[in-house]
Amino acid sequence: MTKPGKILFIGTMSALILFSGATWYAVQCAGRMGGLPYSGPAVAQAEGQQYTCGMHPMIITDEPGTCPICGMKLTPVKAGAAGGKEAPRGKKKIKYWVAPMDPTYIRKEPGKSPMGMDLVPVYEGEEQGGATIKIDPVTSQNMGVRTAPVERRDLHRTIRTVGLVDYDEPRVYSVNAKVDGWIEKLHVDKTGQVVKKGAPLLEIYSPKLVSAQEEYLLALRNRESLKNSAFPEIAQGGGRLLEASRKRLQYFDISDRQIRELEKTGKVRKTMTLYAPFKGIVTRKMAFEGQYVKAGMELFKIGDISRVWVYADIYEYELPWIEVGQEAEVRLPFVGEQTITAKITYIYPYVEPQTRTVKARLEFDNPGFELKPDMYVNVRVKAREVKDVLAVPAEAVLRSGEKSRVFVALGNGKFEPRQVKLGLQDQEGYVQIKQGLLDGEKVVTSAQFMFDSESKLREAIQKMLEPKKAKPAAEETRQGPDEGLGGLFEDQPEKAGGSKQDENLEDLF
């Protein structure tokens, strides 16, 4: 059985061991954090030199040592890198001038921004879109980094799309009944039948037409009896009555030839013939023999396809290239890719909700009826050229939401991220730069994603770092009792073999 005194002694010893271990760990941590003078080997370092971890670049210290995460030895930070000391502004070179409110508006010389504000200089090392990164030539070659110049060039594009043939809208006609009646005979009884202007369509029996014929014959006889009257007003009244009866027949679509025949024969016809007022092809037929029709009912629809329209689908991103008057080629998908040339006559001011395209209208003469309504054709539109604009390869641009950026090669392995505003993109893979780049600069066309992640990481590190002031020499060797953790151990001298707490711990055993 264990004695109470021995238990108390063992408990006291355990508490002393734990306290001594915690104290020793606190002393070491305080020494590394700056609370106590570091007891390790003295390292000569340049003024303002900082150190970082190769695996964890967010670890940046003012003293050499090891990474607290992975234990690797810290390496010096190169000048100009994240956390490194930059040269004084007076010794830097101005790269360009930029608008304070728009980082994409840059110029080679000072001036005014579009908002009327003075342009501000941008010095080397003061990036607008992120942190400048530096890569040695071997790493750059292994990454496959390629560059391309920012140059002025002419942009052009050929729009290739699908077109739909349709009727010329002003050449589509509807034939309606003007009176109630019964269709006695159809002269045009098939859909797709070609009709000429003035060709007979049908014969209709209508009591109103019979009455109108009788009234006309009566007015004709009345005029003949009154034309020799001694009173001119009576003779003129007979003529006016005859003219009103003629107009009524004409309003019922009775032709002048039929009216002359009625005058000649003097006999009322049971049926009257309706003639085609236009030429074309019957696209719809709603009339049948023996059918009763009412006034206003549509009987035929006739379309003239000697001239047709072609609707070309233009996507929204292609609209800046399209304008009225441009030449277009229509290639028929048969007869050996036959080509017909025309011009864009109209661009519709709305977007089709199903296809999300805008219709561009082309007009063609179609004497041989080769273009048939609802036929699909291939359309090529030679878009207008955009001359003498700054352009870069499209693969050089990183698009991220509302912003677009490129990486500018500064030379000596340095690359600067730059925000840009884009314009048109041609078919050869070049995109217009409206703002953000200068003529003659070079941009990176490959490996930009690795550049972008590295630049954003360094930019975030720079924002987290706060400027540190150099400590006086007396303050580095001694701190007050109230300054941090080091004040707790100020009066406890260290020996080469260990601290005072270590000696007391040995005496206990």
Quick one: angle between helices 256-265 and 232-251, nearest 10?
130
Is residue 122 assigned to a domain? Answer: yes
Candidates 244, 236, 251; CA nearest to 219 is: 244
Rg over alpha carbons for the chain, rounded to the nearest Å, is 48
Higher confidence at residue 502 or residue 110?
110
Q: Is the pLDDT of residue 45 over 50?
A: no
- Residue 435 and residue 333 in one domain: no
Mean pLDDT confidence for 340-357: 91
- Long-range contacts: 88-97, Cβ < 8 Å, 24+? 89/123, 92/123, 92/124, 92/125, 92/126, 93/123, 93/124, 94/121, 94/122, 94/123, 95/122, 95/123, 95/124, 96/121, 96/122, 96/438, 97/121, 97/122
d(CA 249, CA 237): 19
Phi, psi of 129 (to 5 degrees): -105, 0
Shared-domain flag, residues 215 and 279: yes
Calculate the dihedral angle through the C-alpha atoms of 365, 358, 386, 378, rounding to the nearest 10 degrees: -50
**DSSP helix/strand/coil, 6:** helix
pLDDT at 358 over 80: yes
The region of weakest confidence among 2-16, 201-215, 357-371, 488-502 is 488-502
Residues 339 and 399 in one domain: no
* pLDDT, mean of residues 231-254: 86
Per-range mean pLDDT, top range of 82-86, 310-314, 446-450: 310-314
Question: Do 186 and 289 share a domain, yes or no?
Answer: yes
Question: Per-residue pLDDT averaged across 384-393, rounded?
Answer: 87
Same domain, residue pair 240 and 258: yes
Whether the predicted pLDDT of 156 surpasses 90: no
Report pLDDT for 418: 85
pLDDT-derived band at 456 (thresholds 50, 70, 90) equals low
Which of 244, 268, 296 is the last residue before a domain boundary?
A: 296
Q: Mark which of 279, 296, 313 sits at the end of a domain.
A: 296
Whether the Cβ atoms of residue 16 and residue 508 lie closer than 8 Å to each other: yes
Please give the share of the chain, as a percent, with pLDDT higher than 70: 73
Query: Is 408's pLDDT higher than 60?
Result: yes
Q: Which of 35-49, 298-312, 403-417, 432-446 comes out lowest in average pLDDT?
A: 35-49
Residue 465's pLDDT is what? 58
Does the residue 162 lie in any domain? yes
Q: Does the residue 133 lie in any domain?
A: yes
Report yes or no on 70 lying in a domain: no
Domain range spanning residue 482? 1-45+470-509
For residue 259, count CB atoms less than 10 angstroms from its CB and return exposed for 0-12, middle for 13-18, buried for 19 or more.
Answer: middle
Q: Which residue has tokens 């025949």?
A: 261
Sheet containing 60-61, strands listed edge to edge, beginning at the edge strand earlier in sequence: 60-61, 51-52, 75-76
* Torsion sign (Cα): 77, 80, 83, 87: positive
pLDDT at residue number 168: 92
Summarize the confidence of residues 227-240 as an average pLDDT. Answer: 79
Residue 224 and residue 132 share a domain: no
The predicted pLDDT at position 133 comes to 75
Pair 320, 290 in one domain: no
Whether residue 98 is found in the same domain as residue 195? no
Mind giving me the DSSP string for 157-206? -EEEEEEEEEE-GGGEEEEE-SS-EEEEEES--STT-EE-TT-EEEEEE-
Query: Over 50: is that where the pLDDT of 317 sits?
Result: yes
Do 251 and 196 fall into the same domain? yes
pLDDT for position 117:
81
Does some domain include residue 194? yes
CA distance 225 to 438: 97
Q: What is the pLDDT of residue 180?
A: 93
Whole-number pLDDT of residue 494: 41
Task: Name 148's bridge partners.
Answer: 443
* CA–CA–CA angle 402, 404, 406 (5° rounding): 165
> Are 210 and 287 members of one domain?
yes
pLDDT (average), residues 430-451: 85
Q: Which of 193-197, 354-358, 441-445, 451-455 has the lowest mean pLDDT?
A: 451-455
Structural domain includes residue 74: no
Across the chain, mean pLDDT equals: 76
**Same domain, yes or no, for 380 and 391?**
no
Of 45, 120, 116, 118, the C-alpha closest to 75 is 45
Q: Is 71 left (phi over 0), alpha (psi -120 to 50) or beta?
A: left
pLDDT at 40: 39
pLDDT digits (tens, 9 = 90+) for 201-217: 999 999 999 999 999 99
Q: Is the full-model pTM beyond 0.85?
A: no
Last residue of a domain, one of 384, 409, 428: 384
Is 75 among the domain residues?
A: no
Question: Domains in the chain: how many in total?
Answer: 4
Distance (Å, whole) CA 107 – CA 110:
7
Residue 54 lies in a domain: no
Under 8 Å between Cβ of 331 and 377:
yes
What pLDDT is stored for residue 202 in this prediction? 93
Average pLDDT over residues 51-79: 77
- Judged against a pLDDT cut of 60, whether residue 193 lies above it is answered with yes
C-alpha to C-alpha distance for 84 and 86, rounded to whole angstroms: 6
Residues 362 and 417 in one domain: no
- Give the per-residue pLDDT at 324: 92
Distance CA 293, CA 178 (A): 9
Max avg pLDDT among 31-45, 207-221, 467-481: 207-221
